[in-house]
Amino acid sequence: MSGKNIFIQGKWVKPHSEKTLEVLNPATGEVIAHCFDCDTIDVNNAVMSAKKAQKSWWKVPGVEKAKIMREIAAKIRSREHDLSRTLSLECGKPLCEAVDCVDWVAACFEYYGEYARSSYGNSIPPVAPHQINFTINEPLGVVAAIVPFNFPLLLMSWKVAPAIAAGNTVVLKAPHQNPLSNLILAECYEGLLPPGVVNVITGGGQTTGEALIQHPDIDLIAFTGSCNVGRHIAAVAGAQLKKVNLELGSVDPFIVFDDADIEVAIRGVAWARLLNAGQVCTSSKRIYVDKKIAPEFIRRIHEFVKTIKVGDPMKSDTDMGPVISKEALLTIEKQVKEAVSQGAKVLYGGKIFNPQGLKGFFFEPTILVDVKHGDLPTREEIFGPVISITTFETADEAIEMANDSKYGLGACIYTKSLEISMKAMENIKAGTFWINDPLSDNDAAPFGGMRWSGMGRELGEEGLNAYREPKHVHLDYIMETKSYWFPYTNRNSHK
């Protein structure tokens, strides 16, 4: 690994800033590395590197971009061992989840590599004889990509791959909590991408991140994170007329109707909520269960959650690891206590603990029952392993509660009824609506939020279009005067 330096202009350089931040292993609480807290000079160096490289990178033929991106993907797969273990170590993900992430990252570069050689614009029917109209899609310029701690590599690829496929260059700010895997992955750019096309810096949000979004030569800010930070970025971007692509938080619903296969629903709900210790933007944070099956569902999910093994994410039999930090741990604890004060009952878990003697940031897999719609677990994002169960009597009531939110990132349902599926889909605002298969992603399909869950889309052609803008070209291949030009007396004489 290239140590704690940063990647600018295709080289590993020591930052101007000498200030560093600790990188902790969330499973043990131990310091495993330090990263630089880059300052305005470092940010400017990265942005200028990207700006210098952008014009020539844009002109690289699409077929060559595709070749480079396939080679990057192959190099990522060749580094799977280092990447997945570092990801598990610094994030607390079970190792099998980290391995999956690395494969998804490589697949994203491959997918957008194909777009780089096949998508450029459209031909449009002309409005008059001897004319040709078409569009070309041009890159925006320099992209600031700011990624979160929960999926630092995957959500990096969702930004970097389409951005460079579209002809932009990038300054990536890795999350300060766990930047190491992104620094390793930057080695996959060496010798393949021209210098300056992707630059990787480290640092905190209030220092490095703020300097990056304020920089006048940034043309688009792509951010995944909290709504509060997203609002701030949108305000800064609005003042400077920068483009933004924001994927923010949510309190996603999951409805289990009475005709669902209860065994499938139990396992699906548990995975959709407890994946990555509940630290997933689209994890199902509001579980609505039909009263007719609720007693059986609650009894069986209780028994199932008790079997989930929490512990060292590097061990092959671990199902769930820690949350990212002590601060996150205390926030979850506070939210659970407030939910209980509002009338919720802790059926299982609900406490900070130390499995296997580990002194990291572990919260028990938790089940809250008797949660009333409108109380904290249905209004506020709990970014941790807490299953919150609310019951309903009719399908209409469930759909109405699911849609009663400021957010709209994702929604899941289990039902065998096509009528109920379509009714729920049409009435619940959500960027992704999963029917009987929770949280599956598809590189070819758009991902993003409605309402307070953000603006813009990642993945699919929509994700590519977020990083480019169309130029309309109007060509008349016969040069002639037009009857509708001045003087208008020529037109009036025909009346």
The catalytically annotated residue of 35, 101, 188, 281 is: 281
Cβ count near 272 (within 10 Å): 24
Q: CA–CA separation, 323 vs 91, rounded Å?
A: 8
Q: Do residues 453 and 249 touch, judged by C-beta distance below 8 A?
A: yes
Element housing 54 (H / E)? helix 40-58
Non-local (6+) Cβ contacts of 103 within 8 A are 77, 80
Q: What are phi and psi of 324, to 5 degrees?
A: -75, -30
- Rounded distance between C-alpha atoms, residue 340 and residue 346, angstroms: 7
Task: State the catalytic residue, choosing from 247, 364, 381, 458.
Answer: 247
Local structure of residue 428 (DSSP, 8 states): S
Write the CA distances from 168 to 303, 368, 384, 469, integer angstroms: 50, 46, 35, 11
Concatenating the DSSP letter of every residue in 112-167 gives HHHHHHH-S--EE--SSTTEEEEEEEEE-SEEEEE--SSSTTHHHHHHHHHHHHTT
Residue 88's φ and ψ, nearest 5 degrees, are -65, -40
Tokens 């190099």, located at residue: 75
Helix, strand, coil percentages, rounded to 5, for the chain: 40, 20, 40
80-91 vs 95-118: helix crossing angle, rounded to 10: 120
Determine the Cα–Cα distance for residues 445 and 67; give it in Å rounded to an integer. Answer: 23
CB atoms within 10 A of CB 363: 25
Query: Which amino acid belongs to residue 197?
Result: V
CA gyration radius for the chain?
25
Orientation angle between helical segments 294-305 and 262-274, nearest 10 degrees:
50
Is 97 a known active-site residue? no
- Alpha carbon distance 431, 174 (integer Å): 25
Give me the residues paired with residue 109 across strands.
none
Asked whether the beta carbons of 274 and 385 are under 8 A apart, the reply is: yes
> Active-site residue 187, yes or no?
no
CA 228, 43, 246 angle in degrees (round to 5)?
Answer: 30
Q: Can you read off the two tokens belonging to residue 385?
A: 């392993």
d(CA 68, CA 434): 34
* 20 neighbors 35 (Cβ within 8 angstroms): yes
Q: Which residues are catalytic?
A: 247, 281
